[in-house]
Structure 1
Amino acid sequence: MPAPPDWLKTMANQVAALMYDVDVLAPIGCHFFHHHSRDEWEVTLFASNTEIVGGEWDGVLAPSKFCLDILKLREIFDEITALYWQALPVSYDDQLGAHVSVEAVYEGHQVWVRVLSESPEEFEPGRRIEAYEFDLKEIW
């Protein structure tokens, strides 16, 4: 996959900065795709899981707890045309699950940005914690 354009990286970082941690926030993942036919960029952000190593919870993938400052989203985009909250997965194969969805214009580019409440299953954990050492290790 080619590298994202600089403006997209800037926008993704601005949105990610609105994800305020409740505990220690795991690394933020970003997936993007350009729909050429619609000239729209689809961007998905999520906090990665933390894999617990050792102890009774060994092997558990724990989601990162965070809040999203939705009101400040309007400061990032030139125009917001739609803003949605999907509270639950809509089907058994819905990989996005609960998320906030923003359809907007950023520096003249049509974007569809989603901030997921949990990391999609296909992504590896972004960090590990050694249960007996209380040592957080960033993986990506």
Structure 2
Amino acid sequence: MSEHESREGPLERIGEKLSAIAEAISPTPQWYRDWLALGPAASDEQLLAVFQAIRNSGDLPDDAGFFLVSWQIDELAACDAETALADYERRLNIIETAYGFDECGIWPAGAAPAGYQELREECDRQWDRLFVERMEQSGEHEMARLFQTDDEQFEAVREAGRQFFFGSQTPEDIAALVWIRRLVAAVADCIDADSAMGPLGYRYFDDHGCWMIDLYPTPVELIGGAADGEIVAPGFALDLDQLQSAFDEIDAFSWSSLGFPHDEGPRVIVEGVYDGRDVFLQILAYAPEDEEPGMKLNTIRRNS
């Protein structure tokens, strides 16, 4: 089973749910006997066939069956990607290692290392292509069509199915996290970096229905030369007009600098509504003191 050498982890949780469903059905459904017959050496293709049989039985909610099948096809596509996307991943890893950041960051326009965003986007497109090809090869033509034409609906159905098996996060939790990422991306579009800058950092909590969010440029660690090991704050400009236009409503818009005894530095503050949710947003000039560097910058010039 490639990554499924045992029934631990996600498969264990899925198995517990399938057992509970099968115990409520008389006689025992064939799909459950097929599930129990899968051994440690079962292939990803065999597991997919069982998941498709479970989905087709109608014994599970539609979105739960959708999740099982799409999740397993994702596993197959990941195996394909190990070779098909190896060169992309190698080139991305070289940049990520050199600059000391991970692949999840949101960058202001033009602030990422040269060619990184384009390479990441092309890698993502190739991954989508592999995923669609695997869905088509597995006979899941409707699923592939939905992914290509309405990826938001695809993810919504899949998440509803994931909740059926795992349920660790409510749909509201997932929606809030997506909303926060969209807000961070909207602010990133308003930033023009004046120097090397890592991905934006952010911290948040929900204060009785109003999201309190601090957003800031992550520090940069200098590597090599006389400044080796020094942690610096990147410079940037913020387009205030563009920032205001991103909000549904603005109740207050201000600039403040917190000195002694807080000494938290200057920030732009926006109180209002973004995409239907109340927010108190602070865009800090400097990251909090305990923030780790978001990027490493080699200050020693290399000969071309």
Distance in 1, Cα, partners of 2:201 & 2:225: 27
Q: Shift of the alpha carbon at 1:27?
A: 1.5
1:108 matches 2:276: yes
For 1:33, give the aligned amino acid: F
1:22-54 Cα distance to aligned partner (Å, 9 max, x none):
123321111111112xx1001111111111122
Contact 2:269/2:280 (<8 A) preserved: yes
Q: Identify the match of residue 262 of structure 2 among 88, 93, 105.
A: 93
More strand by share: 1
For 2:258, give the aligned amino acid: P
CA RMSD, Structure 1 to Structure 2 (Å): 1.8
Using structure 1 for the length normalisation, give the TM-score: 0.82
Report the counterpart of residue 129 of structure 1 in structure 2.
297
Q: Shift of the alpha carbon at 1:89?
A: 2.3
For 2:260, give the aligned amino acid: S
Report the counterpart of residue 222 of structure 2 in structure 1.
52
Report the counterpart of residue 16 of structure 1 in structure 2.
188
- Once the two structures are superposed, the pairs formed by residues 37-76 of structure 1 within 5 Å of their partners are 39-76=209-246
Among the aligned pairs, what percent are the same residue?
30
Structure 1: 5+ residue runs without aligned partners? 135-140
Structure 1 segments of 4+ aligned residues over 6 angstroms from their partners: none
Q: Identify the match of residue 29 of structure 1 among 181, 185, 201.
A: 201
For 2:204, give the aligned amino acid: F
Aligned length: 129
Q: Which has the higher contact order (CA 8 A, sep 6+)?
A: 1
Structure 2: 5+ residue runs without aligned partners? 1-172
For 1:68, give the aligned amino acid: L
Distance in 1, Cα, partners of 2:283 & 2:247: 15
Distance in 1, Cα, partners of 2:221 & 2:190: 24
Q: Secondary structure at the match of 1:72?
A: helix
Contact 1:16/1:45 (<8 A) preserved: no
Using structure 2 for the length normalisation, give the TM-score: 0.40
